[in-house]
Chain A
């Protein structure tokens, strides 16, 4: 676990890069399985992976709380979900750790990992995170709550209510906006007035930071700074990570029908994963050979995870109405 004063180690970066590769490889497999009719619905993190994993690497899974949103597939892996567990969610199997197959697969949750169960409506996790942050402040154990969302969610009233509450009470919360500039087909210009999301922090009297989402070390540093402030009782921070949506909103969407083909091609050429690889090679932390070996290993993991999840049993239909209320 990283400590506030400890530098990022090569092992941590190596692990983070492997998590990024896992997310991409698993997601690619999920899309194939969807097109083959085996998975109902997937929301891809493609283009967001580096930003998500960098952010979680700066925090302490097991100690901190995480209110993730439906595009946080790579963040979920970084929080400790295994490839097989995420495939169990994708197949809606009984052993899906998030919901036992009750929710669509992007709604991650695991109490023991501090990942607060997600939902499909947009933005309700933002004021919820403020409440969790208030509780963590009362407990005084130095833990914080990380909450993530897209730029579309910042149009919701819950975004304002959550930031306002957390700022008033100096709650230890990191608000992490993954701005991919598109909310399904609605571009940022029709969603956010002004230059972006980070500027809104000023209205709440809290720091607002904009970072490039393809810069692993930049995102890591921004989140680490925000975590230091939160743990020191200095309140919340709003971080806006600019990312690319390299896949359509979901498997039920085709962004080629409403986005410019030239722009899509240009964005595909700016995939953050090769940039992260090159940055690691430049630092001497990775070689082409070790990269290939890691990809090979990840590919085998995806294979095993898919086979295990596909063979796993469906939920028992008799359990359909369980957990509406506490068991008597």
Chain B
């Protein structure tokens, strides 16, 4: 298996999904000619053309809105927000429009799409290139929020997000883009399911759930660190013994089942 860092894994996932499904397209600021400011889309426009890898105007609300329009017409857009800090001009489109189109149309319409965005600090980007706003999105019914922390997770979860029937906010910790390399599977073997946490290390007494990158590194050995790969919606099966993480029924957890 090839060794990849996280940003390479993102690019591989996009490449493989675009090759697999011609409905998949990429749009955003600088994603085409330049290949993205973090090079997450490097080479894709040369390979798939200016239509499927579209450089948009510098206007985030319309990036989200155009992605929604494409999705409503059967395409599978992957929109990039250059930094998640810059997704806020698109907040209305994401929260009121994209997230709720299935619900408010009583299931008549759906909007499968992915919005990718680099998140978090650690790259000397200061205020407007370092925010971690995943909690905003986790509080929006209708969105799935994914936060991978390894190259394997990034590739597997992005492939799953692109295939998912619901809109997914895919947050990529920019500090980790080139932090480590892993052997990453190719093709179908790489896909990881959304909605399942990763047990970072087996412990005996407690489960410590972390949504943040590399959350397991400094925990005591008697705990089971759960690296959350996706933050929302929670899966009731995520507990280490298949039980509820909080030890009690959680009404919010049931909404995935539609009841």
Contacts and interface: CB of A to CB of B under 8 A. Distances in A.
Nearest to A161: B62
In the A-B complex, the 9 residue pairs with the closest CB atoms: A131-B69, A135-B73, A131-B66, A100-B106, A127-B65, A161-B62, A326-B165, A132-B69, A117-B105
A130 B255 contact: no
Of A98, A121, A124, A130, most B-chain CB atoms within 10 Å: A124
Contacts of B72: 116, 128, 131-132, 135
Which of B65, B93, B101, B110 counts the most A-chain CB atoms under 10 A from its CB? Answer: B65
B92 A130 contact: no
Contact of B109 (A116, A131, A135, A162): A116
B155 to A, nearest CB: 23
Contacts of B105: 98-99, 109, 111, 117, 323
B57 A322 contact: no
Interface in B39-93: 51, 56-57, 59, 61-62, 65-70, 72-75, 89, 92-93
A127 B89 CA distance: 13
B166 interface: yes
Contacts of A325: 102, 142, 144, 165-166, 233, 255-256, 258
A133 interface: yes
B249 to A, nearest CB: 15
A165 B73 contact: no
A132 B73 contact: yes
A90 to B, nearest CB: 16
A170 to B, nearest CB: 13
Nearest to A97: B108
Contacts of A164: 57, 59, 62
Nearest to B59: A161
Interface of B: 51, 56-57, 59, 61-62, 65-70, 72-75, 89, 92-93, 96-97, 100-110, 141-142, 144, 165-166, 233, 254-259
Interface size class of A (residues with CB under 8 A): 35 or more
Interface string A75-101: 000000000000000000000111110
A312 to B, nearest CB: 15
Contacts of A102: 103-104, 106
A119 interface: yes
B93 A124 contact: yes
Nearest to A322: B258
Nearest to B141: A324
B69 A128 contact: yes
Contacts of B67: 131
Nearest to B167: A325
Contact of B69 (A99, A135, A139, A328): A135
B73 A162 contact: no
Nearest to B164: A326
Nearest to A327: B258
Contacts of B110: 326
Contacts of A326: 102, 110, 165-166
22 contacts: A98-B106, A111-B108, A116-B109, A117-B104, A117-B109, A128-B66, A128-B97, A131-B66, A131-B68, A131-B69, A131-B70, A135-B75, A161-B59, A161-B61, A164-B62, A165-B57, A321-B259, A322-B258, A323-B105, A323-B106, A323-B258, A324-B103
B256 A131 contact: no
By CB atoms of chain B within 10 A, which of A164, A318, A326, A327 has the most?
A326
Interface in A276-328: 318, 321-328
B92 A135 contact: no
Given A162-B65, A165-B66, A119 B257 contact: no
Given A322-B258, A328-B258, A124 B92 contact: yes
Contacts of B259: 318, 321-322
Given A135-B73, A326-B166, A158 B62 contact: yes
B109 A109 contact: yes
Contact of A134 (B66, B107, B142, B233): B66
B29 to A, nearest CB: 13
Contacts of B104: 99, 102-103, 107, 109, 117, 119
Contacts of B66: 127-128, 130-131, 134, 165
Contacts of A318: 259
B74 A323 contact: no
Nearest to A96: B106
A162 B68 CA distance: 13
Contact of B96 (A119, A127, A135): A119
B109 A111 contact: yes
